[in-house]
Structure 1
Amino acid sequence: MNTPAQAIDRSLPRLGQGYVWQDLTVGQCLRTFARTVTETDLVNFIGVTGMLEAIFIEDGYEGAAMAGRPVPGALTYALIEGFILQTMIQGTGLAMLELHQKILAPVLVGDTIEAQIEVTGIRPTSKSGRAVVDSRIDVFNQRGVLVMTYTATRLLAGRA
């Protein structure tokens, strides 16, 4: 008969633990899960950020440059970063150091987005066990259209 453990075994691998920098290589590519952007996502995001622009809050806004319910580029970025944080750098990401972003096409409510990440640079720091990791993130919609691209420079933990 199995008995419950008296204490957590800290030597066991942690589920969902992100990559340490030593597990990454320049040129390595990864992709996120896909996620459909919902009306609820839009409403919650503009409510919490205060992005109460007419194109985001008024369905069918007559001054809109396009049909459909566009979402802020910041929401697209936040959803993709959520995937990256939950899967690639959970527990190992120490800081976002720099970000350069280009929005190339609109994302609308009902679009499904996913991203491809390419590691473009790894520079160990003078402080043991850390490195600055550069990456390029390309975000696509369900039609394969590149809607956003950005580069990120992050500080990642490593093995000592």
Structure 2
Amino acid sequence: MNGTSKRLGRGFCWQELTVGAFGRTVTSADINAFVGLAGMIEILFTNAEYRRNNSAIKGEPSPGALVFLIAEALSLNATSQEAGLAFRGLSSLDIKGPVQAGDTLEVEIEILDIRQESKGSRGLVRTQNIVRNQHGREVMIYKPLRLMMGRPE
């Protein structure tokens, strides 16, 4: 492998980032596993009969935290494999609408700010991540800050 090729699956350095969209369907198994692991035993997530008869939310809703985690996985797998060093925080996270089992999510990543870090070739990257369902409706918008590796000097 020469110095100009990329290994399959490796992400970008911060200097190589561009806008992109990536998708994944949320399944009942995803929701059940997350609810069980997180201990979110709220009736909205654990009782289909309650949802059918008493809830304002019908279908099988996903917790917002799961939507965030799926969006982060899509974003990181597409852009930061082996190049991401640290999640530095969020300046905002807005849930815009519900996500149900069977919805397919896409994340559009807009680069808001890129600046070189004081140490070596590392960089700080602030993005706006817009999560949309299969109908193009925004379901979440958040702005993470990441520390990323740069190209070797």
Q: TM-score, normalised by structure 2?
A: 0.90
Equivalent-residue separation in structure 1 for 2:121 and 2:35 (angstroms):
39
The one-letter amino acid of 1:23's match is E
- Partner SS state of residue 102, structure 2: coil
Alignment deviations for residues 55-102 of structure 1 (CA, whole Å, 9 cap, x no partner) = 011113244222111110111111111112212101000011111210
* Contact 1:38–1:110 (8 Å) recurs in 2: yes
Equivalent-residue separation in structure 1 for 2:133 and 2:57 (angstroms):
17
Q: Quick check: 1:136 aligned with 2:128?
A: yes
Corresponding residue of 2:87: 96
* Contact 2:75–2:107 (8 Å) recurs in 1: no
Greater helix proportion: 2
- Displacement after TM superposition at 1:10 (Å): 8.3
Equivalent of 2:13 in 4, 8, 20: 20
Corresponding residue of 1:29: 19
* Contact 1:60–1:68 (8 Å) recurs in 2: no
The one-letter amino acid of 2:31's match is L
Quick one: percent identity of the two aligned structures? 40
* Contact 2:74–2:107 (8 Å) recurs in 1: no
- Partner SS state of residue 29, structure 1: coil
Counterparts of 1:94-133 in structure 2, within 5 Å, are 94-99=85-90, 100-133=92-125
Equivalent-residue separation in structure 2 for 1:151 and 1:74 (angstroms):
15
Larger radius of gyration: 1
Between the two proteins, the alignment pairs up a number of residues equal to 148
The one-letter amino acid of 2:20's match is L
Q: Quick check: 1:79 aligned with 2:70?
A: yes
Q: Quick check: 1:64 aligned with 2:51?
A: no
Which residues of structure 1 form unaligned runs of 5+? 1-8
Equivalent of 1:52 in 41, 50, 63: 41
Equivalent-residue separation in structure 1 for 2:146 and 2:75 (angstroms):
12
- Partner SS state of residue 155, structure 1: strand
Corresponding residue of 1:6: none
- Partner SS state of residue 121, structure 1: strand
Equivalent-residue separation in structure 2 for 1:125 and 1:73 (angstroms):
32
Equivalent-residue separation in structure 2 for 1:31 and 1:76 (angstroms):
15
Question: Root-mean-square deviation (CA), in Å?
Answer: 1.6
